Chains A and B, each alone.
Chain A
Amino acid sequence: MSYVDAGYAISLGALFVYGLGLGLRRRRWERALKVVEVGDAAEPLAPGGRP
């Protein structure tokens, strides 16, 4: 592999992997938010009682 090929492969590969990682992180946080929101809504607080 030449220096040129290595430069293109590393640059494009790193951008691709980072972009993919960002997409996965976004999905994970979106899921986490749904879980927290659903958990929040599914636990009605009885007056004077534990949720």
Chain B
Amino acid sequence: MKSTHTTIPNAPRPRWLSAVGLLGVLAMACTVWLGLWITPPDQVQGNLARLLYIHPPIATVALYWAGGVAAVGSLLYLWPRTRSLFWDRLAASAVEVGALFSALTLVTGSLWGRPVWGVWWTWDARLTSTALLLLLELGYMALRRVPADPTVRARRCAVAALLVAVDVPIVHFSVDWWQTLHQGGTILDPGFHLHVHGSMLWTLLIGFIAFSLIFVWLLGVRYRIEVLQDQVGNQELEVSLADRWSEDTVLAGVGGSSQSPPSGGAP
């Protein structure tokens, strides 16, 4: 049977994505080596400062990269001129990967907060808004699993992603809007003066690059899964339609009437 249903091109795995993944792993190894063995302990926090080579980069990915891609993808899907399932799939992939990074932000922050603040958790504005971000992302993922027509699902999810996006500036400005236990800028103060210097600064910057590259790689692989899921769904729909059509044809033959296949449908 020749396929007549609109299918998504079965694109090969892009090589640039593998290169990004490899670079991400190398940068991550470099971050761990510098962060755990090369950089000196902090004067005030001692070795606990080493957690800050991974916590701010993870939080940056969760908040700005994942939140940004989800927001832009959803807006471009909702905008009639740019409406394409590409944007919906991209946003869905960003939210799932972002949920992992949000969870890791909370875990690494908690591991740092226990010895420094004396508590695993406090209802601080930054912590609470970050936890809310994770909950919104999990809600988005649950909504995406609700069976629906792809376009209906995409529209629902785009609106849900905008709710996730609303929380992003709240997390960012929470340390300015409210009195919080969480400190303000980690690298730059409001006057754009550096707080971190030397090997500590380089380690942190490499950490930002490493986690960003890993995010891009995970996003690419997750996007590929979204495309494959849609392709399988379309093919199964075609088979079901063909089955249904052949049953109708048999019944029509028994009944003595003739039927012609609908245009654009299964033969």
Interface set of A (CB-CB < 8 Å, partner B): 2-4, 6-8, 10-12, 14-15, 18-19, 22-23, 25-26, 29-30, 32-33, 36-37, 39-41, 43-45, 48-51
Instruction: Report yes or no: A15 in contact with B236, Cβ–Cβ below 8 A.
Output: no
Residues of chain B within 8 A of A49, CB atoms compared = 246, 250
- Chain B residue with the shortest CB-CB distance to A15: B214
- Chain B residue with the shortest CB-CB distance to A25: B225
Interface set of B (CB-CB < 8 Å, partner A): 1, 3, 10, 28, 32, 35-36, 47-48, 50-51, 54-55, 58, 100, 103-104, 107-108, 111-112, 114-115, 214, 217-218, 221-222, 224-225, 228-229, 231-232, 235-236, 238-239, 242-243, 246-247, 249-250, 253, 267
Instruction: Report yes or no: B232 in contact with A36, Cβ–Cβ below 8 A.
Output: yes
Q: How far is the CB of B265 from chain A (nearest CB, A)?
A: 12
Instruction: Report yes or no: A29 in contact with B214, Cβ–Cβ below 8 A.
Output: no
Residues of chain A within 8 A of B58, CB atoms compared = 11
23 contacts between A and B (CB under 8 A): A2-B47, A3-B51, A3-B115, A7-B55, A8-B32, A8-B36, A8-B54, A10-B107, A11-B108, A12-B32, A22-B218, A26-B225, A29-B229, A29-B232, A33-B10, A33-B232, A40-B238, A41-B1, A44-B1, A45-B246, A45-B267, A49-B246, A50-B246
Instruction: Report yes or no: B235 in contact with A19, Cβ–Cβ below 8 A.
Output: no
Instruction: Report yes or no: A50 in contact with B100, Cβ–Cβ below 8 A.
Output: no
A2 to B225, CA, bound (A): 37
Chain B: interface secondary structure?
A: helix
Q: How far is the CB of A43 from chain B (nearest CB, A)?
A: 6
A38 to B228, CA, bound (A): 15
Instruction: Report yes or no: A19 in contact with B239, Cβ–Cβ below 8 A.
Output: no
Instruction: Report yes or no: B228 in contact with A26, Cβ–Cβ below 8 A.
Output: yes
Residues of chain B within 8 A of A14, CB atoms compared = 100, 103-104
Q: How far is the CB of B247 from chain A (nearest CB, A)?
A: 7
A43 to B243, CA, bound (A): 11
Q: How far is the CB of B249 from chain A (nearest CB, A)?
A: 5
Choose among B107, B222, B238, B246 the residue with the greatest number of A CB atoms under 10 Å from its CB.
Answer: B246
Q: How far is the CB of B204 from chain A (nearest CB, A)?
A: 14
Instruction: Report yes or no: B3 in contact with A40, Cβ–Cβ below 8 A.
Output: yes
A22 to B267, CA, bound (A): 36
> A33 is contacted by which of B228, B238, B250 (Cβ under 8 Å)?
B228
Choose among A3, A14, A39, A50 the residue with the greatest number of B CB atoms under 10 Å from its CB.
Answer: A3
Q: Tell me whether A40 and B235 are in contact in the complex, defined as CB-CB below 8 angstroms, given that A22-B221, A22-B225, A29-B225 are known contacts.
A: yes
Listed from nearest, the 10 A-B pairs whose CB atoms lie closest are A29-B228, A36-B235, A7-B111, A22-B221, A7-B51, A3-B111, A4-B50, A7-B108, A32-B232, A33-B232
